[in-house]
Amino acid sequence: MKQRRVAGIPADGIARVSHERPPSDFAVNLRRLIYFHHWSAREAAKVIGVSEHAMSAWLTEKRKPGIDSVMRIAGLYDIDPRLLSGDQLAFAKELAEPDRIGHAEANVGHVVRGVGSVSPMRRKGSRGVKET
């Protein structure tokens, strides 16, 4: 009896498993951050001050951003820089904080209009920041 070949199944009948790496936390968190603020990657690159090529390379994990870019992203979107590359659940909790959202939107507005500067929000209990 002649065996017929089925598309997508190897001739020997043994399925192959690909060992793809899961996406890095930074790429997932950056993508989530862009989506949360209703930006396209192109718009986010312009606001952050990097090329579209660099943003694409970060999102596809071909390159990692430098510390200055990470700090710029963290300051603009008012996110703890350690959370950008950290746990996705902790990042999601931080992302949804109402005070952070308002401050980040003000920062983005300043950058888009070219007025003022980006400043990180000072939270009570943050390391290195004294409460007043």
| Per-residue model confidence as pLDDT tens digits over 64-105 | 999 999 998 888 888 888 888 888 888 888 888 888 888 888
- How many domains does the chain fold into? 1
121 belongs to a structural domain: no
Q: How far is CA 19 from CA 4, 22, 59, in A?
A: 28, 9, 20
Residue 49, pLDDT > 70, answer yes
Instruction: Tell me the C-alpha distance between 13 and 29, whole Å.
Output: 39
Q: Over 70: is that where the pLDDT of 40 sits?
A: yes
Report yes or no on 132 lying in a domain: no
DSSP code string of 88-121: HHHHHHHHT-HHHHHHHHHHHHHHHHT-S-----
pLDDT of residue 57: 94
Our measurement of the distance from residue 71's CA atom to the centroid of its chain's CA atoms, rounded to an integer in Å, reads 12
- For residue 98, give its domain range: 25-113
> Is residue 10 domain-resident?
no
CB of 63 within 8 A of CB of 54?
A: yes
**Which uninterrupted H or E stretch holds 54?**
helix 52-59
Is residue 13 domain-resident? no
pLDDT tens digits for range 118-127? 555 544 444 4
In a domain, 40, yes or no: yes
In a domain, 127, yes or no: no
Q: Do the domain assignments include residue 20? A: no
Q: What pLDDT score does 51 carry?
A: 93
Global pTM?
Answer: 0.65
Question: Which of 9-18, 80-89, 102-111, 114-123 has the highest mean predicted lDDT (pLDDT)?
Answer: 80-89
Has residue 13 got a pLDDT over 70?
no
Residue 48 lies in a domain: yes
Task: Please report the pLDDT score of residue 59 as a whole number.
Answer: 92
Query: Domain with 45 in it: what CATH number?
Result: 1.10.260.40
